[in-house]
Structure 1
Amino acid sequence: MKFKFAHNNFNVLNLQKSLAFYRDALGLVETRRKEKPDFTLVFLGDGQTGHRLELTWLKDRTEPYNLGDNEFHLAFTVEDFDQAYELHKGMNCICYENKDMGIYFISDPDGYWLEIVPANR
C-alpha cells in the first residue's frame, strides 16, 4: 500500500482576499472549486507540481482562526530569491527573516506562515 500527498488545507476568513494574496504573492491559481451552501473549497496549484493548497471558507464564520503558536508552515522554493524578496517586501507580508539560513517567511491574510527558500539551496 502506498500513500501520496494530495493537498494541505488552510481555513480562511475572507476567500477573495486570500485568493488575491496567493495569486499575487506566490502565483498560485485555482484548479478546482466545490461550492456547498455552508462552505466553499478552492484548490490552488502552482502549475508545476501536483501539490494543492485547499482553502476552506466557512460562510458563516466571522471570527479569525486561532492558529495557536503557528508552529507549522508550507514552504515554497523560488529561482529568483532576491526578486521574490522584493515582491514580498513591497507587499508588506514578510513576517520573519533568517538571514543566516538564507530564508524568510511571509504571512497570509489569516496569519498562516509560508517559508520562501532559494531553489538552488
Structure 2
Amino acid sequence: MKMIKKIEQPDAKFDLYFMGYDSPKAVSHGNDFSDREGLIELTHNYGTENDPNYKVTTGNAEPHKGFGHTCISVDNIQAACKRIEDAGYKFQKKLTDGRMRHIAFALDPDGYWVEIISQNPIDKTENITTTDLATYRMNHTMIRVKDHEKSLKFYQDVFGMTLMRTSENKDAKFNLYFLGYPGSKGVSTESVNGVNPTADREGLLELTWNYGTESDANFKYHNGNDEPQGFGHICVSVDDLDAACKRFEDQGVNWKKRLTDGRMKNVAFVLDPDNYWIEVIQNEKLKNRANW
C-alpha cells in the first residue's frame, strides 16, 4: 500500500494515515482519499510507541470480540504469502493450516488480522513464484454482528448497501454476509476461485453472524472504541454530507456525533445496531466542502 493522505492533529496529539493501493492498475488510482473504496485509516496517538505496556485489542480475543479483520485480495496467493513470510511477518493462519486451504491470515505489528484471498483459481497459481503488488485490492473489512437480520436491514436501508454475497456455514453455525456498493460491476454471481465471487472488489463490508447470539439478551460485541480500544470505525463518503445527515436524522438513527457537535463540522458518526461507529464524510470529487 501507499500513504494516500496524512492528517496531522498536533493539538489533539494524534495523526491519521490513509493507506491504499495507488498503482496505475489500482481501482481508484489518483483519486482524492474521499473518492476511493478500500482504504485503511491508521490512527496514531502520540507516545504510545514509547509505552511498553500499551497494546490494542484486536477484536478477536474474549472478552472483547467484535472487529475481526481487514482483507486483501492478491493475484497469486501462494507467492504473496511466501513474500510476506520471507519478510519476517507472522501468520495467524497459513495456507497450509486447517481445512481452509484457500485463505491465510497475516498479523500486522499490532496483532490485527489481515486475511489474504485469491483473485484467481488457486490450483492455477500454486506453481507461480511471482506476485504483482500493483494488482492487489483492499477487499473488505469484517465485523461480527449479534443479529444478522437487524444489521442487514440497517446497512441496506440506512446506508444503501447491496447484499452481494452470502456464505452459509451451517456445520460451523455461522454465516457471512458481504455488502457493498455495486457500481459499474454490478453484483458478482460467479465464483472466481470456487469459494469467493467478490475477490476482485474493493471496500466491501463483511458481517459475521454466529447462530444464536440474537436470542441472548445479555450478549454484545465490543465495538473497539470502549476500553480496551482497538478498531475505530468504518467510513462511508457521500455526495452531499448535509443532505445525507438530514436523511439519517429523518430515519431515526442513533448518533455518536452529529455534524453540529464539537469542533469537527466535516464529519459525523452514526451507530449501527451493535454500536459500531460509522463515519460519514463528504466525497470531495462530488462536492467541495471539507477542504481536508
TM-score (norm 2): 0.39
Listed as ranges, the matches of 1:96-111 within 5 Å are: 96-97=257-258, 99=260, 100-101=263-264, 102-111=266-275
Q: 1:64 aligns with which of 200, 208, 220?
A: 220
Cα offsets for 1:58-92 (capped at 9, x unmatched)? 00323111224255111111112122111111223
> For 1:83 and 1:25, how far apart are their aligned partners in 2?
13
> For 1:5 and 1:45, how far apart are their aligned partners in 2?
13
Q: Which has the higher contact order (CA 8 A, sep 6+)?
A: 1
Q: 2:243 aligns with which of 83, 103, 110?
A: 83
Counting strand residues as a fraction of each chain, which structure ranks higher?
1
Amino acid at match of 1:72: G
Counterpart in the other structure of 1:20: 153
CA contact (8 A) 1:88 1:94 kept: no
Q: Structure 1: any 5+ residue segments left out of the alignment?
A: none
Q: 1:30 aligns with which of 147, 163, 173?
A: 163
Q: Structure 2: any 5+ residue segments left out of the alignment?
A: 1-130, 184-200, 285-289
Cα RMSD, aligned residues only:
1.8
Q: 1:74 aligns with which of 225, 234, 247?
A: 234
Answer with 63-72 or 11-20: which moved more.
Answer: 63-72
Rg comparison, structure with higher value: 2
Aligned-pair CA distance for 1:50: 3.0
CA contact (8 A) 1:12 1:56 kept: yes
Alignment length, in residue pairs? 121
Amino acid at match of 1:59: Y
TM-score (norm 1): 0.89
CA contact (8 A) 2:253 2:271 kept: no
Counterpart in the other structure of 2:52: none
Question: Identity percentage over the alignment?
Answer: 30
Q: 1:115 aligns with which of 279, 284, 287?
A: 279
Amino acid at match of 1:14: D
